[in-house]
Amino acid sequence: MDPSAAVFGSRLATDSWFCWEQPDRDGFALAGVGSAHEVVSRGPGRFDDVVSACAEVSRDRRAVEPPDLPAGAGPVWVGGFAFSPHGGGAAQWSSFPPARMVLPELSLVRAGERTLLTVAALVTPESSPDVVIGRVRARLASLRDDPPLPLLDPHPTGETQIRSVRPPGSFEHAVARAVERIGAAELEKVVLAREVVLDAPAAHDPAALHGALRELFPSCFCFCCGTPEAAFIGASPELLVRRSGAVAATVALAGSTRRSADPSVDNHLGEQLLHSAKDRHEHEVVARRIKRNLEAHSVWVEAAPEPGLVRVANIQHLATPIHAQLTEPRSALELAGLLHPTPAVGGEPCDAALPVIDELEGMDRGWYAGAVGWMDAAEDGELCVGLRSALLRDRTAHLYAGGGIVADSDPAAELAETEVKLEAVLPLLSG
């Protein structure tokens, strides 16, 4: 069974849904549809609020399940968090609050050779058993596992209009101002992003886009978080955190360059990236903070001594895997709150960088560069950083891309880097 295809084929117009895949990891996929319960919060305490609310619901659960469930099976919370504690206020983000985790009525997880289906219902003292059972049966009856994900189908005659919300020169000016702030020792690094909007002749199809992304980016976290009004979708190369029992894993990902179809040129670009003083400094800032944040909650933290290269279809990054043995149980969502935002999407120091982002970007990031993922009843789970992503609302798509600014950043080069990152999704929507 294809969990994502089953969910896309079974969802109703009024449903929330969620798909998550990393095809290169033994075909792992998790998908859910419907909402048995939803937790929403905003403000600086949103991660803590959601952790507490999810734990309260899960604490009293009654389950019939086999003893050897893989991670992601059984009741599972899916959703995400905006970049900012109050993010998502712009009109296009109206159904994506600063924090939203959903317990799907139906969820499917594929791990290796196994695919498991979970049915979840929230029962209160006022609930009618007949009504609850009837709703569950109706949801099960609606599940379809036969239709494959559709192919992207460009409109035969219409043209897609593409525009930058702010002129490219405005982004370069913002980078130059950020470099000035860094030169004045106000901060060490800041990440600035820009927004591109596509208006298509027909509604964008999140099912077709998800299918294309998982084919093109099998090593990435391919996600689609949908509401009746919109879908936030992407193929992120960046793991924020994976929690498995007492072990937490993450990756410092910062420093980028383009790919080439010529293997020798591609290798040369990678070597240049590995030896770039600017990119190595940008990367070290990220790895240093992640390690420091984890050390306060771990018996030990281990990071690779040198960054390696992570190559995806159109871009390659410097990457340092980091693992930690936790001193006490902390859920995947709690760990995400401890790490977000890393300097890979925020800056260093964080308290100095966030006001600069607000001042120089002039946009609401919403869930872009936020945390997207899942957590099961054992509190294991994984969340990625919402990068290489798009917000789809009918015929309009909002795309976002950014870059890390340090002391020797060049505005023109930073603009060019955002164009490379936009190429992950933009050609699929504009074709």
Of these residues, 105, 195, 238, 284, which one is catalytic?
238
Q: Would you say how long the chain is, in residues?
A: 431
> For residues 162 and 200, what is the distance between their CA atoms, to the nearest angstrom?
9
Cβ pair 278, 272 in contact under 8 A: no
Partner residues linked to 405 by β-bridges: 190
Query: In this structure, what token pair is assigned to residue 406?
Result: 């340090």
d(CA 152, CA 198): 16
Contact 155, 196 (CB under 8 A): no
C-alpha closest to that of 123 among 52, 60, 200, 71? 60
How far is the C-alpha of 58 from the C-alpha of 151, rounded, in Å?
38
Q: Which residues contact 83 (CB under 8 A, 6 or more apart)?
A: 341, 345, 346, 365, 366, 367, 368, 369, 370, 386
Q: Report how far Cα 250 is from the mean position of its chain's Cα atoms.
A: 13
Query: Among all chains, which residue has been given the structure tokens 């470099």?
Result: 179
> What backbone torsions phi and psi does residue 219 show, to the nearest 5 degrees?
-90, -5
Q: Which residue shows structure tokens 């003292």?
A: 125
Return the CA Rg of the chain: 21
Residue 238 known to be catalytic: yes
Residue 121, CA distances (Å) to 128, 171, 366 in order? 12, 48, 30
- Distance of alpha carbon 313 from its chain centroid, rounded? 18
For residue 376, what are the contacts with CB-CB under 8 A and spacing of at least 6?
Answer: 71, 72, 73, 74, 75, 76, 77
21, 105, 188, 189: the active-site residue: 189
The neighbouring-strand residues paired with 234 are 223, 389
Q: Is 189 a catalytic residue?
A: yes
Q: Round to whole Å and give the CA distance between 427 and 431.
A: 6
The residues annotated with a catalytic role in the active site are: 189, 238
